[in-house]
């Protein structure tokens, strides 16, 4: 299934394969055929966005491209649907080689209906607050403090699989993802909301997906280049780093200083 894969690389150094582009094109064709007035956003092509569209389809054609390109099973196709208020209301998460006792994992949440795993409904249950196993990215260990956590971690290499693990695999109680784009989380976020769960920031505030209609594409592109900076500023303003160590705050302000100096050199120079 994954033999003969050709790996190429994007400008940011992440892996890209022909499958990423193929899935993006094929899914967009189907979405535009049946939902011509909807927005379509994918990691490989951002497209045109309208606030008036009733729905926004958000696709990650292959989350875990690096694993996929190496023949590993921990990758998934994720398609999330947001309503006009940017609330995740439907999704498909498909992992052909990462099933529960079977070859594939196929999660579906149809609008207004219960979540199903491989055609079997998943009942809403009270999840164990005693967290003993967390699914997460390896990079999370570098930016978050887990020194007081006595449980175990598992790393699959796919945030989509990490996020759905607590509702698919009985030994997981939580998932952590330290940074993301909307296509990383739209699908699994809709699955979790369909089961009465939600996605929170590290300090407990609920995550909301939002858009801004007044930015030109050129300004949006420049802001995108500094997305990590704006994420940090947002976190400081809204208290997302409350309780963090003094060392974390020092690194935050040092990074701000480096950004200002770099911007000054580029503009003046």
Please tell me whether residues 96 and 33 are part of one structural domain.
yes
Note down the domain range covering 72: 8-194
Distance from first CA to last CA of the chain, Å, rounded? Answer: 51
pLDDT tens by residue, 189-227: 999 999 988 888 776 667 777 554 444 444 445 555 565
Residue among 58, 90, 61 at smallest CA distance from 75: 61
pLDDT tens by residue, 141-151: 777 788 888 99
Distant-in-sequence contacts of 75-79, Cβ < 8 A, 24+ apart:
75/157, 75/158, 75/161, 76/105, 76/158, 76/160, 76/161, 77/23, 78/160, 78/183, 78/186, 78/187, 78/188, 79/27, 79/186, 79/187
pLDDT tens by residue, 234-251: 667 766 667 777 887 787
Please tell me whether residues 74 and 180 are part of one structural domain.
yes
As a whole-number percent, the residues of the chain with pLDDT over 90 amount to 29
pLDDT at position 116: 94
Select from 163, 194, 225 the last residue of a domain.
194
Give a yes or no: residue 244 inside a domain.
yes
pTM given for the model: 0.73
* CA–CA separation, 96 and 73 (whole Å): 8
Question: What's the structural domain count of the chain?
Answer: 2
Please tell me whether residues 76 and 129 are part of one structural domain.
yes
pLDDT tens by residue, 6-17: 555 555 546 556
Please tell me whether residues 259 and 163 are part of one structural domain.
no
Q: For residues 202-233, b (16+ Cβ closer than 10 Å) or e, as one string? A: beeeeeebeeeeeeeeeeeeeeeeeeebeebe
Mean pLDDT value of segment 248-257 = 80
CB-based contact 140:132 (threshold 8 Å): no
Please tell me whether residues 103 and 234 are part of one structural domain.
no
Please tell me whether residues 247 and 123 are part of one structural domain.
no
Q: Which residue has the higher pLDDT, 101 or 185?
A: 185
pLDDT at position 240: 65
Burial of 176 (0-12, 13-18, 19+ CB in 10 A): middle
Residue 4: Cβ within 10 Å count:
4
């Amino acid at each position: 299934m994954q033999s003969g894969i050709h790996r190429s690389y994007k400008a940011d150094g992440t892996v890209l394969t022909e499958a990423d582009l193929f899935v993006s094109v094929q899914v967009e064709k189907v979405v535009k055929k049946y939902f011509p007035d909807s927005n379509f956003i994918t990691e490989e092509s951002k497209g045109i966005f309208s606030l008036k569209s009733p729905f926004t389809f958000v696709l990650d054609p292959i989350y875990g491209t690096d694993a996929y390109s190496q023949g590993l099973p921990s990758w998934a196709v994720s398609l999330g649907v947001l309503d006009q208020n940017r609330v995740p209301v439907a999704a498909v998460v498909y992992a052909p080689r990462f099933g529960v006792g079977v070859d594939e994992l196929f999660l579906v949440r149809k609008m207004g209906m219960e979540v199903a795993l491989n055609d079997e409904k998943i009942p809403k249950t009270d999840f164990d607050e005693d967290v003993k196993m967390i699914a997460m990215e390896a990079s999370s260990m570098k930016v978050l403090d887990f020194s007081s956590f006595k449980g175990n971690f598992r790393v699959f290499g796919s945030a989509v699989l990490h996020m759905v693990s607590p509702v698919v695999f009985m030994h997981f109680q939580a998932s952590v993802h330290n940074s993301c784009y909307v296509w990383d989380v739209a699908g699994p976020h809709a699955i979790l909301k369909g089961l009465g769960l939600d996605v929170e920031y590290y300090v407990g505030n609920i995550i909301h997906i939002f858009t801004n209609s007044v930015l030109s594409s050129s300004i949006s592109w420049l802001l995108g280049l500094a997305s990590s900076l704006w994420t940090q500023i947002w976190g400081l303003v809204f208290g997302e780093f409350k309780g963090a160590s003094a060392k974390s705050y020092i690194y935050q302000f040092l990074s701000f200083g480096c950004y200002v100096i770099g911007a000054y050199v580029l503009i003046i120079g």
